[in-house]
Amino acid sequence: MKLLKSNKWQLGGAIASALLLCLILFQVFVIAPVARQAARVGTYTGLRENQSALKRNPNDPSALRGMADESTSNKDFSQAVKYLKQAVKVEPENTNNKYLLGIALSRAGQRDEARRTFEELASTDNPEKEYAQRIVEKLKRNPNWGLYRPKVASTR
């Protein structure tokens, strides 16, 4: 009788382990690929929507930020700068656009303009003031701080 009870527990543990393995495999091979595909479609749809919004209204701040975000995702920081400069021009009171512009300028290698943008934000009363002050301090200590450096392929 004891042998039968211990075998039931072992069998139950084996079944539980098999079910757990099936759940993990389902997550890895079914759910994750579907989620990745949905994210790609969502990004593409957002890109098309932003492009068509800019065709209708070249000064649509939301579409400009969306295009800047897309450019940043593709590591095209000079294009992101272009869109964010336009967004700042359209909505000068939106300090978040200016903050994002400073980051894009930094990533595009335009250090002096990025520093001036953050210094301007740090000197005015706005929601981004504290973050801009921190960045200005870091840039004072290290002028190359935060700059994007693309990886160079090894020649070996």
DSSP tag of 30: I
Q: What does the pLDDT read at residue 138?
A: 86
Mean pLDDT within 107-115: 89
Reported CATH class of domain 58-141? mainly alpha
pLDDT of 93 over the 60 cut = yes
Q: How far apart (Å, rounded) are the C-alpha atoms in residues 34 and 36? A: 5
pLDDT in tens, 16-54: 777 777 767 667 776 766 666 555 444 445 788 999 999
Tokens 């209708």 found at: 56
Could you state, in order of their start, the residue ranges of all structural domains in the chain?
9-56, 58-141
The encoded tokens of residue 154 equal 């090894």
Mean pLDDT within 85-99: 94
With CA atoms as reference, report the closest residue to 99 among 109, 111, 88. 88
Please tell me the number of Cα atoms within 13 Å of 149 on its side-chain side: 6
pLDDT of 104 over the 70 cut = yes
Please tell me the number of Cα atoms within 13 Å of 58 on its side-chain side: 4
Q: How far apart (Å, rounded) are the C-alpha atoms in residues 29 and 22? A: 10
Q: What's the whole-model pTM score?
A: 0.65
Q: What does the pLDDT read at residue 71?
A: 92
pLDDT of 89 over the 50 cut = yes
pLDDT in tens, 127-140: 889 989 998 888 88
Q: How far apart (Å, rounded) are the C-alpha atoms in residues 105 and 1? A: 76
